[in-house]
């Protein structure tokens, strides 16, 4: 289990930046939020959620799958797509290489078919550990293909977002993936098929400003950070401290931007209940 070995990516939150704590590999985990030292097994049993403060640890795409779909039902597709350094962008090749090594993934997303509560769905899950979950050509393409698959097979489409935004290293091609993914989900809507978008920590920039906010239903994990502009950019622009709880899931809920906040342990059951609505005549 590698999910707490690494140093946590730089905190996006503007709230009291906590001291960077390196978590030793072993029996104990330190919660990023409440700083309590917790027995590792206890956290794992608890869906990688802090039992003391309900903090939802950031998890990888493959760690998320068992919490999301019916046991053993996930079948990965489109796993042959890998990114290309189309612009000849400084250090991009190296970054891709190290991300691949770190995550075992070719890019920041996995795509496949699965069942939830017995209902077949097309599903994409983003992985923040791969270059901050940034959306470039591969991520955009895999989302578009998953949506098109949903249209062909007449199934719902589900996405799990976790991303810092568009992938700078692919320049304008990344920006255009926002249009591509949004156009694909628009076609899904035209076809009368549902799209459920799940937002996790963190969801920002070009992902928030495209498919992730276009779900017929939008769910979010508790306390996760969601926004268009990053908090630091906003702070620098307005030269003001940001209010407590700014850009947290609860903040979006309050402002009418999402439908519900769902704890990780309840996600599968919640999705099953929602999907049943669409499949029942």
In the complex, the residues that contact other proteins under the rule CB under 8 A are: 80-84, 86-87, 89-90, 136-138, 140-141, 144, 166-168, 170-180, 182-183, 185-187, 189-190, 205-206, 208-214, 226-230, 233-234, 237-238, 240, 242-243, 246-247, 251, 255-257
Q: How far is the CB of 3 from other proteins (least distance, A)?
A: 25
Residue 38 interacts with which of Zn ion, other proteins, none, CB < 5 to 8 Å by class: none
Q: Which residue has the tokens 């850009």?
A: 247
Closest CA to 147 of 113, 175, 115: 113
Considering the complex, what minimum distance in angstroms separates the CB of residue 63 from other proteins? 25
182 binds, options other proteins, Zn ion, none, Cβ within 5 to 8 A by partner type:
other proteins
Q: Which does 133 bind (CB under 5 to 8 A by kind): Zn ion, other proteins, none?
A: none
Query: Considering the complex, what minimum distance in angstroms separates the CB of residue 94 from other proteins?
Result: 13
Strands 28-30, 217-220: pairing is unpaired
Gap between the Cα atoms of 272 and 281, Å rounded: 16
Q: Would you say 123 or 212 has its CB closer to other proteins?
A: 212
Tokens for 59?
A: 């998890």
Residue ranges binding Zn ion (CB under 5 A): 31, 33-34, 50, 52-53, 55
Tokens, residue 172: 């304008």
The CA distance from 4 to 26, in Å, is: 10
What minimum distance in Å lies between the beta carbon of 99 and other proteins? 15
Residue 50 interacting entry, from other proteins, Zn ion, none, C-beta within 5 to 8 Å by type: Zn ion
Q: How far is CA 22 from CA 10, 14, 32, 82, 274, in A?
A: 12, 20, 10, 32, 40
Distance CA 152, CA 141 (A): 16
Any idea what DSSP says for residue 119?
Answer: E
The partner in contact with residue 112, picked from Zn ion, other proteins, none with C-beta cut-offs of 5 to 8 angstroms by kind, is: none
């Amino acid at each position: 289990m590698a999910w707490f070995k690494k140093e946590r990516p730089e905190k996006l939150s503007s709230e009291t930046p906590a001291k960077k704590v390196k978590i030793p590999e072993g029996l104990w985990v330190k919660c990023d939020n409440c700083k309590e030292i917790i027995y590792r097994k206890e956290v794992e049993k608890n869906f990688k959620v802090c039992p003391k403060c309900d903090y939802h640890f950031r998890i990888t795409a493959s760690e998320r799958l068992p919490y999301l779909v019916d046991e053993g039902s996930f079948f990965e597709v489109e796993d042959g797509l890998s990114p290309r350094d189309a612009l000849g962008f400084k250090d991009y090749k190296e970054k891709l290489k190290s991300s691949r090594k770190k995550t075992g993934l070719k890019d920041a997303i996995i795509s496949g078919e699965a069942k939830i509560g017995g209902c077949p769905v097309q599903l994409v899950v983003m992985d923040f550990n791969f270059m901050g979950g940034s959306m470039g050509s591969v991520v955009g393409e895999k989302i578009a293909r998953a949506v098109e698959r949903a249209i062909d097979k007449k199934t719902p489409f589900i996405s799990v977002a976790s991303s810092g935004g568009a992938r700078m290293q692919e320049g304008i091609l990344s920006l255009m993936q926002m249009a591509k993914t949004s156009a694909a989900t628009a076609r899904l809507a035209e076809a009368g098929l549902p799209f459920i978008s799940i937002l996790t920590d963190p969801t920002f920039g070009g992902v928030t400003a495209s498919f992730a906010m276009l779900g017929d239903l939008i769910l979010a994990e508790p306390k996760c950070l969601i926004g268009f502009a990053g908090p630091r950019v906003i702070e620098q622009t307005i030269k003001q401290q940001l209010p407590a709880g700014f850009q947290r899931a609860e903040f979006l809920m309050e402002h009418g931007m999402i439908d519900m906040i769902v704890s990780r342990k309840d996600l599968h059951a919640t999705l099953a209940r929602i999907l049943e609505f669409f499949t029942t005549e």
